[in-house]
Each structure stands twice: as C-alpha cells, then as structure tokens.
Amino acid sequence: MINGDVTTDVSAANVSIGGGLLTDISTNRGGHIASAFNNVSAGSALTAQTYLDFEIENAGFDNGSGFAPGGTIDADAILDVSAGNMSTGTDYFNALISNDGGGHIGGSAIINVVASSGAINAGTDAFFTITNNQSTEGQPAGTIGGDAAINVTATNISTGGGLFPTIDNSGGGSIGGNANLEFGLKGDLTTQGDAIFTIDNSNGGTIGGNATIDVTATNITANSLTAQIDNTGGSIGASTEGSATINMNVSGTATVTNDATVAIYGNDAGGPTAININGGNYNVGGTFLSYMDGNGTITFSNATAHADVLKAGVFGSNGTLNIGGGMLSADTELKLYASGSNGSLNFLSNVTLGGGALTKILAANTINILDGVVVTIGGSTPADVYTNNANYTGFGGNGTTTGTFAGAGANNPQPLASAPPFGPSSPSRRNVRPGNHGAENRGTINVGNTEELLALLDGAPVGPDGKIKIPGSKSRIDLKSLSRTDTNRLLRAERRMLMQQTRDRTTARIGSRRAL
C-alpha cells in the first residue's frame, strides 16, 4: 500500500524508440494507492518501431494458482497521452485502464489521447479500452465511482489492422457516473480491419449516468463499422434519468467493405435513448443496420446511405424513426420499421428511397409524411406500406397532411400486423469482450513460418498439466496479421501473462511503478 498518489511522467520534445514503449502503473493483485496518473507527452513525435503501450492496471485475475483480487485506487485513474503525431511500426497501439476482476476506482477512470497536430498511426491494431467487467465467470466485476471516459482527438487515425475503442462494464460492473466514448477527428479514420466502438453494459452492468458514443470524422474507411451500446440485462441511468446515445457525425464519405451497424440493445435507459446519423455519404458493401430494440429515436439527418441491404428499426412500444432528407437506397432490401404499439415513422423533409431493391417496406403504427414533404420511391416497384395510421395524401393515405409519395409511389397501406418480419437484428454483432469464449476448436492450424509460429505461441497459456493450449480464436484468423504482442485479442489473464513476457524483450520501460 502507498499512502499517496502514484504518478508516471514522460515528457520530451520528441520520443523515438527502436523497439516498443510501455509506461505502466500497476496495483493488480490487491495493491492500494490514492490516485494513479500516467502522463506521456511529446511536443512533436511519439514513435516506436514496434508498439506503444500505456496502461493503468488495477485488475484481478487468475494467476495460475488461484484468483488474485483487483486493487484499490481511492480517487482517480487518469491516463494522458499527447503528441503532435503518434505512430507504431510493426505492432499495436494500446491505451488501457483495467479494473476488471474486482478492482475498485473511487473516482473516475479517464483515457485522453491527443495527437495535437496530426495523426495516430498503428502498424496493426489500435486499442482504447477501459475494462470494469467480470474477468472470469464466477469472479467479481469492477467498480468505478465516477465517470469512465475515453477521449481521442486527432486529425487522422490509420491502422494496419482494426480499431477497438471499448468500455466493458458487463457481468455486474458498476460505473457511478457517465460512460463516454468520444472520437473527434478533423480528418479521416482509415482501418484495414474492423472499426468497432462499444459500450458493453450487459449481464448486470450498471451505469449511473449517461452512456454516449460520439464518432466525428470527415471520411471513414473500414472493413466493417460498428457502434453499439449493449444494455441487455443492464441498467443505464435508472435513478438519474440518464440517456443512451450514439452520434455518428460524418461530413464526407464512409466506405465500408462489409457490414455497418449502429445499434442500442437491451433495457431502456432511464432517460432518452437516441441514435443520430448526422450527414455523410455511407457506401456499405453488405448490410447497413441501425437498430434499437427498446424505446427511443433513430434519426437520419441529411444522410445519404447505400447498401446491399439497408434496415432501420426501432421496436419499443414508443419507438420513433425520423427520416430528415437525403437518400436511402439498397440493392436487395430496404426496410424502415417502428412497429411498436405507439411507434411512428416520420418523414420530416424530402427524401428518396432508391436503389434496385424490389423489396422496400415501410412499417409503423403511424406513418407521418409532414405537410409539403415528398417521399420519392426510386425504381419501378412501389413501396409496401404497413400501418394503422397513414397520415399522408394519396396512395391510400387519410389526407391529414399534404405530404405524399412520388416516383414509383406506394401500395395502399395494409394493417401493421401483416408486416413481414424485420429479420436479423444484427448481421455483424459480435462478442465485445476480447478472447474466445466459445467451444474448443479442434481443427487444423496452418503455420507458414517461424514468425507465425511465435505469434501463435505467444498468446498460448500453459495449462495445469503443463501443456500449451491454443485459443480457438487463433485458428480462425490470419496469422500473418497477428501481432506477436496483440494482447487484447486474448483473455485478460492470458494477456497479462504475455505482457510480462513482452516487457523482457525490446521494451523501453519508462517510469513503471508497482504497488503490489
């Protein structure tokens, strides 16, 4: 126990490392300090030939001989990293506060990463993570008394792999204040892999205030794009009327090779729940899904989106789907649903529903086309309408507004009860916790060379019988792109074991202090 604060300060005009750089404060396994401040700053460039890794560790985990409980930080845990530009060569970028497995942070857990004049470039994956979850089934989750926040500011972010900003509060984690993921880019976000923004509050997680994901960029390029808040079996703002909100602010073009998903799952928040797609031109090769299974509002504001399948649905009894200008188009299927008992689909300004899709379905208890608004149906096939209240003129509407359809128009409305199923609620939904929690994979693993073999073995835990066990997830990924220290792919206990090995290699370890 240290009866005071623990601070790591690294400051220079430029920082250039031939290997990897790790700065770390650890109170794992029952350590106890007042506050933790891990500060790294470079006036110009912060670069490493392999990886950049910045951590505050306060977690509990199975150390091989039993469960070691998490530590205690009485006040705040703050991780600040700033430079003009940041880059890694052959490996990952990692900013982590770990408080899972029974850790306790009395104040707030905050990660601030700022590239003040340029870019954050990662050779492989980039991780920005706060863990407050259950590290192992049957073990306790963490507690954070104040806020949990990840704030990233840069002109551009580019990764050779994926981008994974995550606040994991699942399995009974408790955050007393707000949970916020904020990415503010003046320029572009470019990932060769997936870009997945997640707040996981499922399975008994509690967030006392708001849960918010804000993504701002000029252009986004990714293999797949996901922004999700999972509150299944959790609680957000139950006593404070806190909200759950996702804001996607793209001023240019988002190009996604496969699926794009923007979704809020699970129990209603205590206050408003909203997904806002603000502007931008989205080109999605697979399915573009915006989804909410509870009450709340999804709003498209002057957004243009094209996908093979485009679906937007709000399914709470008072769910609202607002379409405010732009164009939504699909090649195969287009569905706009607000099918709760008081659900409403509102067309707020002129919009085109286009593309070659033969299936264009509008389904809501009430469909409102506001006065003077025209909904143009592209192609030659009319839209199918399922509603109990058709508030528009013509095409079977009740004439209560002057809004109407144009182009191919719409078929006369049928009862909402006759609407076909919306379909799968998440084509790209995935387990947001790192590691493989599925069944053991007994298939063949093809290893092409020594480097790939080392990548495989670095992530392999040694079992009680002395045998090396390969996680099943490794057999399903490309070993050529697997970093030898890509630790966030692993279970937390495995990850920490590997980090200990990594520190003994080409690491320039600066200012690490341990209170064990």
CA distance 120 to 151: 13
How high is the pLDDT of residue 240? 83
- Residue 111 corresponds to which amino acid? I
**Residue 226 pLDDT exceeds 70:** yes
Q: Which has the minimum average pLDDT: 50-64, 70-84, 108-122, 156-170?
A: 50-64
Q: How many Cβ atoms sit within 10 Å of the Cβ of residue 341?
A: 11
Tell me how far apart the alpha carbons of residues 238 and 229 are, in angstroms, rounded to a whole number: 16
Q: Mean of the pLDDT values across residues 358-386?
A: 98
Tens digit of pLDDT for each residue in 258-316?
999 999 999 888 889 999 999 999 999 999 999 999 999 999 999 999 999 999 999 99
The tokens 């106890």 sit on which residue?
A: 32
Place of tokens 């590997």: 498
Query: Any idea which residue has 């086309």 for tokens?
Result: 369
Q: What is the pLDDT of residue 63?
A: 74
Higher pLDDT, 350 or 427: 350
Compute the mean pLDDT over every residue in the chain, rounded to the nearest whole number.
Answer: 86
CA dihedral 261, 267, 272, 273 (to 10 degrees): 0
What contacts 17, CB < 8 A, 6 or more positions away?
A: 47, 48, 49, 508
Read off the pLDDT band of 458 (50, 70, 90).
low
Q: Identify the pLDDT of residue 426.
A: 57
Q: Is the pLDDT of residue 463 over 80?
A: no
Q: Which two tokens stand for residue 150?
A: 């990840």
Residue 3 above 50 pLDDT? yes
Estimate to the nearest angstrom the gap between the alpha carbon of 460 and the chain centroid. Answer: 26
199 contacts: CB under 8 Å, gap ≥ 6:
166, 167, 169, 179, 181, 211, 213, 228, 229, 230
E strand or H helix at 499: helix 492-503
Spatial separation of the C-alpha atoms in residues 169 and 82, rounded to whole Å: 26
Q: Which of 25-34, 490-499, 502-511 has the lowest mean pLDDT?
A: 502-511
Query: Comparing 70-84, 193-207, 385-399, 436-450, which segment has the lowest mean pLDDT?
Result: 436-450
Q: Which two tokens stand for residue 113?
A: 């990463």
Least-confidence region, from 53-62, 306-315, 475-484: 475-484
**Model pLDDT, residue 456:** 54
Distance (Å, whole) CA 140 – CA 137 = 8
In one-letter notation, the amino acid at residue 195 is: A
Whether the CB-CB separation of 388 and 365 falls below 8 Å is answered with yes
First to last CA, the chain: 7
- The larger pLDDT score, comparing residue 418 to residue 437, is at 418
- Range name among 51-55, 58-62, 248-252, 325-329 with the lowest pLDDT average: 58-62
- Comparing 104-113, 127-136, 341-350, 393-402, the range with the smallest average pLDDT is 127-136
pLDDT of residue 454: 55
Nearest to 284 by CA among 241, 253, 245, 314: 253
Q: Give the pLDDT of residue 241.
A: 87
Q: Residue 466 — very low, low, confident or very high, per pLDDT cuts 50/70/90?
A: very low
